Amino acid sequence: MREDICTIPVSDVFEVNDGCPICRMYDMLQTRAVDYITGAAMMEPDVRVVTNKKGFCGTHLYKMVKEKSGLSLALMLQTHIENLGEDLFGKGDKDGKIAADRLSSCFLCEKINWGMERMIETIYITYENDKDFRGMFDGQPTFCLPHYSLLLSGIKKSRLKKYSSEFRSSLKKITQNQLSELNSDLLHFCSMFDYRNRGGDWGNSKTAIERTLSFRNGYEQEK
Ligand SMILES: [Zn+2]
Ligand SMILES: [Zn+2]
């Protein structure tokens, strides 16, 4: 897979202010990867060699079927299934180790994760070197908790130096503010079930449950 499919300029992701930017990044990479594999790559012999071995997870296979069904997908699946059959039933897989190994890989997950790692590295580097990017990062409305944890735990090994503590405190501040806001919205939501508040204003609390799920577990889980 060409590298440019798995890389997007980080400023393209951060110039938007809508939800978690890392979820948005994942979503962009995933869309590109699915477009790539359901396009001409589907019939390329060198790609086929890899997809025969790695296959696809359920999430990505369903996404591919949505994009493109029919002959080319059937051809790709046929050679993959044939290849699986040889390993699963032709190699004496007594304890299921081969099956477990073969069923745990996904061609698209690997490409997306590769792209995510590169882009996360680029975020740290760009934060260190680019004032405008620091402004975009600091202006984000939220980071979901899985991506908050990912970014926070990566700081130590990253190439952030001078701006390391600024990055950390900005990330923490944004995430903590979002957590407090959700906490109050959930409290407000619950209070609206009290008969004394009948007819009151729900305000932002109407969407508190959905927003909490996205914040707690990451937006890509929804799709
Ligand atoms: Zn996220
Ligand atoms: Zn996958």
* 179-188: pLDDT as tens digits: 999 999 999 9
Top-confidence residue, 4 or 208: 208
**No. of H helices and E strands in the chain?**
11, 0
pTM of the model: 0.89
Specify the DSSP class assigned to residue 19.
S
Q: SS3 helix, strand, coil % of the chain, rounded to 5?
A: 75, 0, 25
Residue 148 CA to ligand 1 centre (angstroms): 7
Residue 135 CA to ligand 2 centre (angstroms): 33
Residue 173 CA to ligand 2 centre (angstroms): 32
Distance CA 84, CA 47 (A): 16
What percentage of the chain carries pLDDT values higher than 90?
82
Sign of torsion over alpha carbons 157, 163, 168, 171: negative
Residue 145 CA to ligand 2 centre (angstroms): 21
Residue 221 CA to ligand 1 centre (angstroms): 9
Segment 20-31, tens digit of pLDDT: 999 999 999 999
Q: What pLDDT, on the 0 to 100 scale, is given for residue 3? A: 58
Q: Which ligand is nearest to the CA of 60?
A: 2
Q: Which domain holds residue 213?
A: 3-222
Query: What would the mean pLDDT of 55-73 be, rounded to a whole number?
Result: 92
Per the structure, how many domains does the chain have?
Answer: 1
